[in-house]
């Protein structure tokens, strides 16, 4: 087939659709334009249902519109301290949507309209300096993507709120986010202290500890917030059920580093609480090349961390070197104002000291560096790499605690597929504990041991998970809940969904009047927030509460075939047949594997007489 060149218009449209693929990137680019203009207040909005309008309004210096504006490559951003895609993003938006920009500089005001790629510029009246950008029909030329955006706009909205929280910390900007003219997030208090901005951005009301860490190349602050109450008896989340949110930045710009984020998450595991953090990288990369970000994805903040390896080593030392030995009790949470005012104790650590030292909370400044801080102080605690598990290749699949599958291949490259379970031939029972079964493959005969208790438990758990029902329990005393503006918006817009899950809230959305009940177990704020989180991600399915998973797992365990129970051949066949019809056959709900490969025998031929009957 002869190779031909696509029309320039088609090729350009494909190109810009990759640069601005979704509403998150669209709004991120417009917000960063506002940040580059020196804005101190930014309002972001998504309005409409079948036809969406995206709005970003700021009080920045405005745009100096000239003949190069909205042309490919037309930009005033040649300094590496600015955001942007060097004259590509805003031009790309005009190719994908209809755009109206009203802007006022100190000199004049202009209205710019771009419809179907055609640009019109005219004078206008605008009372205040700044820029307002309105975008409609975004990706209308791509019907499948446009429909997908309409269905998943809630998830994009959640991500934009998360992004705005980070910008509050890094840029000291007041933010408001609206959906259909309803305010779903606002932060108008932007103190000078980054930690106070962190507290304001994430709406932290109480804390049981502040931790500040000073390294040779970073400054880290963590606010420890008590976990919300999960049940009506007041029990908190179990240890380890924590949440980590925050931002990494350098030179005022957000940085995304999976390696650094993973190390911070490992540090946060030492605290049985929610952790909010901000981490400033103190050493900026010396590369002055203004084009260093070209080629990176516009939906990420790919900026280089100078000497990232040394930074990771410092964080590892902080985690394993005993620097965070001071623990604070979640039961003694106090209003966050007591930490900000300096009347409570915070904890600080430096990577060249063996132990954290409690000090009185400082004023609005950061931690002062010690007289001597080695740049590359080696860790005093050797870290031994875990030994490989010799049985790691035996299991065909493993399943994580979030119920996602991970495929494990056998040493010989063989793999057990879910549909293979229905082809297993029962051989017998071993020690009243394991069902022995065989599987005939084209070149192999495989023998498996199936844990009869784990397998039956997996089957019964699946049945309980698909058939459980709630009853509603009216509360004698309403349960007060602490919801953010965004969460209150989700409640207001999704009352039917919440009611299907058993929750009914007060008109002000500050108290729960009715809660779901399963048996004798009542569910509260933690489960309510699980439903809201699912809604924010665009989820439509019924939410299986984390705490209910444990209840159902225990119920399935107690009612299953036990180790030591003799089974008839039909009982063994029934267990294997039902196991093959479950969605998660490889582990019981408590994590025990259900099936293990015992032996693999290469078939000498494909003669039916040599195969298992």
Distance, CA of 236 to CA of 602 (rounded, Å): 54
pLDDT of residue 323: 63
Mean pLDDT of 370-379: 34
Of residues 223 and 318, the one with the higher pLDDT is 223
Least confident of 90-94, 211-215, 350-354: 350-354
pLDDT in tens, 322-343: 666 555 454 566 666 666 655 5
Instruction: Count the Cβ atoms, other than its own, within 10 Å of residue 55.
Output: 18
pLDDT in tens, 529-561: 999 988 888 777 889 998 899 999 999 999 999
Distance, CA of 396 to CA of 593 (rounded, Å): 10
Q: Is the pLDDT of residue 31 over 90?
A: yes
Which among 40, 56, 26 is positioned nearest to 177, based on CA atoms?
56
Record the pTM: 0.71
Helices (H), 73-152: 89-96, 143-151
Give, in degrees to the nearest 5, the angle at Cα 473 between 467 and 478.
140
pLDDT in tens, 271-286: 777 889 999 988 766 6
Describe the chain by its helix, strand, coil percentages, rounded to 5.
30, 25, 45
Which domains, and CATH codes, for the chain?
Answer: 8-187 (3.30.565.10), 194-230+241-285+302-318 (3.30.230), 392-604 (3.30.1540.20)
Strand partners, 218: 281
């Amino acid at each position: 087939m002869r190779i031909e060149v696509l029309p320039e218009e088609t090729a350009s449209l494909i190109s810009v659709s990759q640069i601005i693929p979704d509403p998150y990137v669209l709004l991120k680019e417009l917000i960063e334009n506002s940040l580059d203009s020196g804005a101190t207040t930014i309002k972001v909005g998504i309005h409409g249902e079948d036809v969406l309008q995206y709005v970003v309004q700021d009080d920045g210096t405005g745009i100096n519109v000239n003949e190069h504006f909205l042309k490919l490559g037309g930009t005033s951003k040649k300094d590496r301290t600015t955001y942007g895609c060097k004259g590509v993003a805003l031009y790309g938006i005009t190719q994908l949507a209809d755009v109206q920009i009203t802007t006022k500089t100190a000199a004049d005001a202009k209205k710019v309209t771009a419809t179907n790629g055609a640009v019109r510029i005219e004078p206008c009246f605008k009372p205040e300096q700044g820029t307002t950008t309105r975008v409609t029909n975004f990706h209308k030329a791509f019907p499948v993507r446009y429909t997908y955006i309409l269905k998943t706009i809630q998830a994009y909205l959640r991500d934009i709120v998360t992004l705005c929280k980070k910008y509050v910390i890094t840029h000291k900007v007041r933010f408001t986010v609206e959906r259909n003219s309803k305010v779903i997030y606002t932060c108008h208090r932007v103190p000078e202290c980054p930690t106070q901005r962190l507290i304001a951005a994430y709406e932290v009301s109480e804390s049981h500890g502040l931790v500040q860490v000073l390294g040779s190349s970073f400054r880290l602050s963590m606010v420890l917030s008590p976990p919300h109450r999960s049940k009506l008896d007041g029990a908190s989340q179990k240890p380890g059920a924590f949440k980590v949110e925050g931002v990494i930045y350098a030179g005022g710009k957000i940085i995304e580093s999976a390696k650094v984020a993973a190390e911070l998450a490992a540090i946060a595991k030492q605290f049985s609480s929610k952790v909010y953090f901000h981490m400033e990288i103190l050493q900026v990369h010396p590369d002055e090349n203004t084009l260093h970000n070209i080629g990176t994805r516009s939906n990420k903040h790919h900026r280089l961390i100078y000497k990232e390896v040394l930074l990771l080593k410092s964080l590892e030392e902080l985690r394993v070197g005993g620097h965070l030995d001071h623990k604070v009790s979640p039961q003694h949470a106090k209003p966050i104002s007591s930490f900000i005012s300096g009347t409570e104790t915070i904890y600080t650590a430096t990577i060249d000291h063996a132990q954290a030292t409690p000090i009185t909370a400082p004023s609005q400044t950061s931690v002062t560096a010690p007289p001597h801080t080695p740049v590359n102080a080696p860790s005093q605690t050797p870290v031994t790499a875990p030994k490989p598990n010799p049985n790691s290749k035996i299991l065909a699949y493993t399943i994580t605690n979030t119920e996602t599958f991970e495929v494990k291949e056998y040493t010989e490259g063989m793999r057990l597929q879910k549909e293979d379970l229905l082809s297993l031939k029962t051989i017998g029972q071993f020690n009243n504990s394991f069902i022995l079964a065989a599987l005939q493959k084209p070149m192999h005969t495989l023998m498996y041991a199936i844990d009869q208790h784990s397998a039956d438990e997996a089957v019964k758990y699946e049945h309980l998970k698909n058939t459980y029902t709630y009853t509603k329990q009216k509360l004698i005393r309403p349960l007060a809940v602490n919801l953010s503006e965004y969460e209150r918006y989700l409640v207001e817009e999704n009352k039917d969904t919440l009611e299907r899950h058993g929750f009914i809230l007060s008109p002000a959305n500050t108290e729960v009047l009715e809660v779901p009940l399963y048996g004798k177990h009542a569910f509260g704020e933690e489960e309510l927030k699980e439903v809201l989180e699912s809604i924010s991600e665009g989820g439509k399915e019924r939410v299986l509460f984390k705490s209910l998973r444990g209840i159902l797992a225990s119920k399935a365990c107690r009612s299953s075939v036990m180790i030591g129970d003799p089974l008839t051949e039909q009982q063994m066949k029934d267990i294997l047949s039902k196991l093959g019809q479950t969605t998660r056959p490889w582990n019981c709900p408590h994590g025990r594997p259900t099936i293990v490969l015992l032996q693999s025998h290469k078939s000498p031929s494909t003669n039916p007489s040599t195969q298992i009957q």
